[in-house]
A and B are shown apart, each in its own frame.
Chain A
Amino acid sequence: MSRIGALFRVPKISYRVWKVWMRNKDVFMKTYKTNFLPSLLEPILYLVALGFGLGGFVDAIDGKPYIQFIAPALVAVSMMFSAYYECTFASFVRMYFQKTFDAIIATPITIEEVITGEILWGATKSLINSSIVLGVITVFGVPATPLLLLIPPLAFLVGLLFASIAMCFTALVPNIDSFSYPNFLFITPMFLLSGTFFPLTQMPQILQTAAQLLLPLSNAVAVTRALALSNIQPSIFLNLAWILIVTPVLFILAINLMKKRLIK
Chain B
Amino acid sequence: MEREVLVKAENLSKKFGDLVAVDSINFEILKGESFGFLGPNGAGKTTIMRMIQNVSPLTSGKLTLAGMDVTERNREIKALIGVAPQDDNLDPDFTVFQNLTVYARYYDIPKEKAKAKAEELLKFMQLEKKRDTIITTLSGGMRRRLILARALMNEPQILILDEPTTGLDPQARHLIWTKIRNLQKQKVTVILTTHYMDEAAQLCDRIMIMDYGKIIEKGKPADMVKKHVGEEVLEVLFSEEAMTCLKQNFPDARIDVVGDKIQVFAHKPRGVLAKVLEEASFKGALIRNSNLEDVFLKLAGRSLRNGR
**B78 interface residue per 8 A CB criterion:** yes
> Contacts A19-B106, A106-B85, A107-B78; is A98 near B56 (CB within 8 Å)?
no
Q: Is A263 an interface residue (CB 8 A)?
A: yes
Q: Write the nearest CB–CB distance from A61 to chain B, whole angstroms.
A: 44
Q: Size of chain B's interface in residues, with CB distance under 8 A?
A: 29
B89 engages A263 (CB within 8 Å): no
Please report the number of residue pairs spanning A and B whose Cβ atoms sit closer than 8 angstroms: 61
Q: Are A107 and B107 in contact (CB under 8 A)?
A: yes
A102 and B85 within 8 A (CB) = yes
Q: Are A264 and B92 in contact (CB-based, < 8 A)?
A: no
Instruction: Please determine whether B79 and A264 come into contact, CB atoms closer than 8 angstroms.
Output: no
Residue B183, interface by CB 8 Å: no
- Tell yes or no: A104 within 8 A of B by CB: yes
Q: From B16, B85, B94, B105, name the one whose CB has the most chain A CB atoms within 10 angstroms.
A: B105
Contact indicator A98/B92 (Cβ below 8 Å): yes
Type the 1/0 row for B94-122, where 1 means its CB is closer than 8 Å to any CB of A.
10001000110111100000000000000
- List CB contacts (< 8 Å) of A11-33 with chain B: 16, 19, 22-23, 26-27, 30
Which chain B residues (1-23) contact chain A, with CB distance < 8 Å?
16
Docked pose: A104 CA to B90 CA in angstroms: 10
Closest CB in chain A relative to B63 CB, distance in Å:
16
Q: Is A261 interfacial (CB 8 A cutoff)?
A: no
Per DSSP, are chain B's interface residues mostly helix, strand or loop, or mixed?
Answer: loop
Q: In the bound complex, do residue A27 and residue B89 qualify as a contact, i.e. CB atoms below 8 Å apart?
A: no
Q: Which of A98, A99, A102, A108 has the most CB of B within 10 A?
A: A108
Q: Is the CB of B94 within 8 A of A110?
A: no
Residue contact B107 to A23, C-beta cutoff 8 Å: no
Contact B93 A107 (CB under 8 A): no
CB pair A104 B106 closer than 8 Å: yes
Residues of B contacting A98 in the complex (Cβ-Cβ under 8 angstroms): 89, 91-93
Tell me, in angstroms, the Cα distance from A87 to B154 when the chains sit together: 29
Interface centre among A16, A27, A106 (most CB of B within 10 A): A106
Q: Are B106 and A102 in contact (CB under 8 A)?
A: no
User: Quick check: is B87 within 8 A (CB to CB) of the other chain?
Assistant: yes
State in angstroms the CA–CA spacing of A26 and B103 once bound together. 13
Residues of B near A108 (CB, < 8 A) are: 74-76, 78-79, 106-108
A264 to B47, CA, bound (A): 10
Which A residues touch B154, using CB under 8 A?
A: 107
Interface residues on A, range: 20 to 34
Residues of A within 8 A of B93 (CB): 27, 30, 98
Q: Counting CB contacts under 8 A, is B276 at the interface?
A: no
Mask of B254-274 contacts with A, CB within 8 angstroms, 1/0: 000000000000000000000
Quick check: A107 and B89 within 8 Å, CB to CB? no
The answer, yes or no, to whether B53 is at the interface (CB within 8 Å) is yes
Expressed in whole angstroms, the Cα–Cα distance for A42 and B202 within the complex equals: 60
Beyond the given A106-B83, A264-B56, could you list 17 further A-B residue pairs with CB under 8 A, ordered by the A residue number?
A: A19-B105, A19-B106, A22-B105, A23-B102, A26-B102, A27-B93, A27-B94, A98-B89, A99-B88, A100-B91, A103-B89, A103-B91, A106-B53, A107-B106, A108-B76, A108-B78, A110-B75
Q: Which 9 A-B pairs have the closest CB atoms?
A: A99-B89, A107-B106, A103-B89, A108-B75, A27-B93, A106-B83, A108-B78, A108-B79, A102-B89
7 A-B pairs whose Cβ atoms sit less than 8 Å apart in the complex: A16-B106, A19-B105, A23-B105, A103-B91, A104-B106, A106-B53, A107-B154
